[in-house]
């Protein structure tokens, strides 16, 4: 890798670190190419990305970013998983690590907050942004539905009373 390519990689990593919501750092020693492609595919499906970069270059790119706290984790064969959704990358990484013991989650960062491995796992248990939006919409719509039921209930009762009187007078 020549000097210009290294400079371009550092610039792109710096931009990524500034714009992402979460970064997960993991060791990947022993993963096969097929496993790595599977991990990349799973990350891509949720809008996350996996990147393998030289630790030295990644540390240079971390300077001046909020996620600079992950710098001590960059030792050995590490990969970086990141996404704008704070739950997407950790969720896929944790699920993949459950099925493949060669992927070892070291930690990460969410904004300026440093996360250890347990913090990443806890973040992975949270519902995704889309799930939270769906729940919120459901909660907002629920009161309107209940109000409509309450408002129409008296009218339904009155209609039943009139129907009962009508049936009573027809029977008589």
Predicted TM-score (pTM) of the model is 0.71
Give start and end residues of each alpha helix (H) in the chain: 3-19, 33-45, 55-62, 88-99, 117-124, 129-171
- 3-state helix, strand, coil split of the chain in percent (to 5) is 65, 15, 20
Q: How many domains does the chain have?
A: 2
Q: Are 83 and 166 within one domain?
A: no
Distance of alpha carbon 161 from the chain centroid: 54
- Asked if residue 162 has pLDDT above 80, the reply is no
> What's residue 44's pLDDT?
93
The answer on pLDDT for 115 being more than 90 is no
Does residue 85 contact residue 28 with C-beta atoms inside 8 Å? no
pLDDT of residue 150: 65
Q: Among 109, 126, 143, where does a domain finish?
A: 126
Instruction: Based on the fold, state whether residues 65 and 96 are members of the same structural domain.
Output: yes
Q: How, if at all, do strands 48-51 and 104-110 pair?
A: unpaired
User: Which of these, 91, 83, 86, 76, lies nearest to 51 by C-alpha position?
Assistant: 83
Mean pLDDT value of segment 157-172 = 76
pLDDT of residue 127: 79
- With a CB cutoff of 8 Å and minimum separation 6, the contacts of 43 are 49, 50, 81, 83, 88, 89, 92, 93
pLDDT for 45 equals 93
- For residue 25, what are its two tokens? 């750092």
Q: Contact at 8 Å (CB) between 71 and 62? A: yes
Helix, strand, or coil here: 103? Answer: coil
pLDDT of residue 24: 92
Can you say how many angstroms the Cα of residue 50 is from the centroid of all Cα atoms in its chain?
A: 14
Residues 108 and 137 in one domain: no
Q: How confident is the model at residue 169 (pLDDT cuts 50, 70, 90)?
A: confident
Residue 52 belongs to domain with CATH number = 3.30.70.1730
Single residue among 126, 148, 164 that ends a domain in this structure:
126
Mark whether 133 and 107 lie in a shared domain. Answer: no
Tell me: do 114 and 133 sit in the same domain. no
Specify burial of residue 141 (Cβ count, 10 A radius: 0-12, 13-18, 19+): exposed
Could you read off the pLDDT of 14-66 as tens digits, one per residue? 898 888 889 999 999 989 999 999 999 999 999 999 999 888 999 999 888 88
Q: What is the mean pLDDT of residues 91-114?
A: 90
Q: With bands split at pLDDT 50, 70 and 90, how would you rate the model's confidence at 163?
A: confident
Write out pLDDT tens, residues 125-161: 887 777 778 888 877 777 777 666 666 667 667 777 7
Domain assignment of residue 38, given as a range? 3-126
């Amino acid at each position: 890798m020549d000097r210009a390519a290294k400079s371009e990689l550092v610039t792109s990593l710096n931009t990524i670190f500034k714009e992402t919501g979460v970064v997960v750092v993991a060791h990947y020693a022993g993963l096969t190419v097929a496993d790595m492609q599977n991990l990349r595919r799973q990350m891509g499906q949720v809008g996350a990305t996996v990147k393998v970069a030289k630790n030295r270059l990644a540390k240079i790119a971390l300077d001046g970013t909020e996620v600079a706290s992950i710098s001590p984790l960059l030792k050995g064969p590490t990969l970086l998983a990141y996404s704008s959704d704070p739950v997407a990358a950790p969720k896929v990484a944790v699920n993949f690590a459950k099925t493949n013991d060669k992927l070892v989650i070291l930690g990460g960062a969410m904004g300026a907050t440093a996360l250890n491995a347990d913090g990443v796992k806890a973040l992975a248990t949270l519902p995704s942004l889309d799930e939270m939006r769906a729940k919120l919409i459901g909660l907002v719509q629920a009161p309107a539905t209940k109000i409509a039921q309450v408002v129409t209930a008296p009218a339904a009762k009155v209609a039943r009373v009139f129907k009962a009187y009508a049936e009573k007078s027809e029977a008589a």
